[in-house]
Structure 1
């Protein structure tokens, strides 16, 4: 007689999305000013923030964006002592399940190379991936940082953004990239959605959610979750990629000692 299998942990229910919201598209144009403020702030030159210890940091772009959108962040991470890595996104519109598999493969390679868990930073949709892959593989992830992502149910976004998601959804179906008929919907039953809805392993991975009440794309309330250290900054959604206050929050989050759960590797650098 086979041994009884332990019961699967209950899935975290997705928070319902409020009614239609046009967002603040004009306010999002200030991202260039926010990037300019970063470049004249001491934090841009690694001053006044904790130094890294060479940990790999996988950086994930938002919806419709590629790795180059986070080039400034990657350069800054390297400057302050971390080892930034990309996954190879040219435009983040692929099936979420396929995308997170790619992230997982990069994390496995980094762990095989160094024996250490890596950190993951995701902007917007990249924050969804950071949450999901951390829940799936806490043995590979030490810190997960989300910037401007809905961590309650994916689609707490503006109506124009939902329309863009609908176009991407149709494109996935036409290209036969969808692994589930409900791909790019909250009712999708793929492994990504299972991991996104899974209770977060707070005893093994440090989760930080950085958000702005001035976000014109994602409802800021959706970035506030009890399982994360939630840090409010000022600025736009797009501007979070080059936000001086967000960079300070990232440096502080990465400086927190990693949590060592059962079966996780012991990091001598921690």
Structure 2
């Protein structure tokens, strides 16, 4: 599942990501935002995990909407998602255990971009606590299959990590020997739903449709997947399943 980045550079569609504000406006004006045209939940817990270079605040709209339609939504505690993947998964593991203990039920993990990778690895590590994984634009098929500009940002984060952890030169690479890579490669018992966009300007769309996952296509930007009305409709349907 985890493989080396493809040899052909992909520049993505950075200008297309500017539509994110229109996507948010579309959501806020929709019946979906009001909860009128989607199934409601029964109080099941959901843990949200933000993407690379992002934090919990970027998923505020999704967090509030999930609570309004009947779910117990929880934030990950991530302020800025740039840390070592293994360190991030260990913190999420503690957060997952706390949510599962508080609610007395397995937790659905919803991760945006890199957050989906962390959620997928966590589900393989703690399947007894996870109900399902929903990945929004996550490169589950090849974790570094992203645009040139995005990979440059990853390189910058890697340099920063090397200053903090010089004994881990392969941090934020596919060669990282930490358990995160092995967990990401292992089959996960909880089902995985991959929601992706052909217009994604950050992550190559083909990387967001891994084998073994249920694939659902939407239209829109990568950044906007956290407040895309089509994503919300799919998410409401998926979370309402037994």
Aligned counterpart in structure 1 of residue 171 of structure 2, from 183, 189, 207: 183
Aligned counterpart in structure 2 of residue 193 of structure 1, from 181, 192, 197: 181
Q: Give TM-score, length-normalised by structure 1.
A: 0.87
State the partner residue of 2:144. Answer: 155
Query: 1:1-270 residue pairs with structure 2 within 5 A?
Result: 12=1, 14=3, 17-176=6-165, 180-201=168-189, 205-257=190-242
The two structures, once aligned, show a CA RMSD in angstroms of 1.3
Gaps of 5+ in 2: none
Q: CA deviation at 1:15?
A: 6.5
Deviations 1:5-44, CA, capped at 9 Å, x for gaps: xxxxxxx453652510111110000010011111111000
1: CA distance, partners of 2:53 / 2:174: 19
2: CA distance, partners of 1:210 / 1:237: 11
Larger radius of gyration: 1
1: CA distance, partners of 2:220 / 2:143: 21
Are the equivalent residues in 1 in contact too, given 2:23–2:224 (CA < 8 A)? yes
Are the equivalent residues in 2 in contact too, given 1:180–1:190 (CA < 8 A)? no
Distance 1:246 1:68, change over 3 A: same
Task: Detail structure 1 runs of 4+ shifted over 3 Å in the superposition.
Answer: none
1: CA distance, partners of 2:125 / 2:28: 36
Are the equivalent residues in 2 in contact too, given 1:200–1:227 (CA < 8 A)? no
Higher share of residues assigned helix? 2
2: CA distance, partners of 1:164 / 1:13: 20
**Count of residue correspondences:** 242
1: CA distance, partners of 2:173 / 2:167: 12
Distance 1:13 1:40, change over 3 A: closer
Are the equivalent residues in 2 in contact too, given 1:210–1:246 (CA < 8 A)? yes
